[in-house]
Amino acid sequence: MAGFGDVVKKAFYLGVGVASYAGEKAGDTLKDFREQTQSIVNELVARGEITAEEAQRLVNDMVNQAQNTSVSPAETLPRPIEILDDDAPAPADAQTEALRQQVAALRQELDNLKQRSSD
């Protein structure tokens, strides 16, 4: 079994990698959004429906709004990571504990039978 330190280290590196990837994707998405907004606004300016100043203000407002609403405060908090160990006993409920006791009794009975047959 890998050491606990190795598991923690791998979990940490996984978290850093996921955060880095998410940051890159968010930056790409925002960049794509800005480019699409800019092209739409440029088309409106070309048609004469809005002025260049209004277009720039519109693009800036839309990008700022996208930046402000994309991440909620709950998403910025780190999520707890639970590391499960296969060797650690699972939390026992009443049914599980009853089954464990039955298995222990059956093992004891089997050991007694084996001991009697070898005598």
Structural domain for 51, as ranges: 1-78
Q: Considering the domain boundaries, does residue 84 fall inside one? A: no
Higher-pLDDT residue of 82 and 113 is 113
Q: Are 63 and 26 in contact (CB under 8 A)?
A: no
Q: Considering the domain boundaries, does residue 83 fall inside one? A: no
Average pLDDT, the chain: 76
Tokens of 93: 């409920």
- 97 falls in which pLDDT band (50, 70, 90)? confident
> Which residue's structure tokens are 């047959």?
117
Which residues are CB-contacts of 41 (< 8 A; sequence separation ≥ 6)?
Answer: 50, 55, 56, 58, 59
pLDDT given at position 54? 79
Q: Considering the domain boundaries, does residue 52 fall inside one? A: yes
**70 has a pLDDT exceeding 60:** no
> How far does CA 8 lie from the centroid of its chain?
16
Q: Indicate whether 17 and 60 sit together in one domain.
A: yes
Which residues are CB-contacts of 47 (< 8 A; sequence separation ≥ 6)?
Answer: none
pLDDT given at position 12? 73
pLDDT given at position 106? 92
User: Domain total for the chain?
Assistant: 2
In the DSSP assignment, the letter for residue 51 is -
Helix axes 52-69, 4-47, angle to 10 degrees: 160
pTM: 0.35
